[in-house]
Structure 1
């Protein structure tokens, strides 16, 4: 499936009111990981209450020890501060990268906004060097917009 084919699937998952927020987020993770071959780890991080840190939400992929990430640390922590998309074509070239797995070669993180506030993000790791394009960014912005509508 390409991104345009996945959009209605994402909308369908979001619309499932009989499922909890976490169930719907996990379903989105599963959908993306199954249908985009270079999405090897897909997960959500959300602001942990009033703390200056992110807490891991639903995800699919290898287990991670990074369940809490302080603002500013790693790619996710930097996005929590900058409020901007962050595409990393080569994680080994990043000074402030938190390694989750030696197989990860690239990462993309897109923030989720509710009422103009950055409340979390989608984080995707790839075992493929430099796989992410502007199309990935636009598609993941769509996903984050749908998630924000579900949460708000």
Structure 2
């Protein structure tokens, strides 16, 4: 399924009025993980600016011990500080990487902004080496833009 095919499906999920915000986010994670072959783990982290930590929200994929991540630590923590997309073609080449699973080869993290504030991010791991392109970045920016309307 192409990214343009997925866009209306994301909007359809977000427009459901009978489910909670977390249920919507979980459905988006499931949609992306099942529709894009190289998306192995899809989840949201949300920022607590007082404690300078990220907290795991809805996700689909293998369980993770990384439910709280300090700002600056790992790829997600770096995005919390930089406010910029971070694409990691090969996680083994990253010094500041938190290993979630030995099968993960690459990662992409895109920040989630609400009224100009970075409130979290979408995080995607892949068991494929270097699969992410600019098209993934644009699509995930679209997803986060639509998700931001929930806040």
Pairwise same-fold verdict (TM > 0.5): yes
1 CA distance for matches of 2:141 and 2:11?
Answer: 13
Unpaired runs of at least 5, structure 2: none
How far the C-alpha of 1:121 sits from its partner, in A, is: 0.1
Counterpart of 1:6 in structure 2 is: 6
What is the aligned-residue RMSD (CA, Å)? 0.7
1:49: how far off? 5.8
TM-score scaled by structure 1?
0.98
Give the number of aligned pairs. 151
Partners of 2:38 and 2:48 lie apart in 1 by: 29
Q: What's the TM-score, normalizing by structure 2?
A: 0.99
Q: Tell me, in whole angstroms, the C-alpha distance in 1 between the residues paired with 2:17 and 2:131.
A: 34
Q: 1:147 and 2:147 equivalent?
A: yes
Q: Give deviations 1:44-79, integer Å, cap 9, x for gaps.
A: 000136220000000000000000000000000000
Distance 1:128 1:104 in 2: 7
Aligned to 1:33: 33
Q: 1:42 & 1:138 partners in 2: Cα distance?
A: 16
In the TM superposition, structure 1's runs of 4+ consecutive aligned residues that sit over 2 Å from their partners are: none
Q: In 2, Cα distance between the equivalents of 1:17 and 1:143?
A: 18
Q: How far is 1:150 from its partner?
A: 1.5
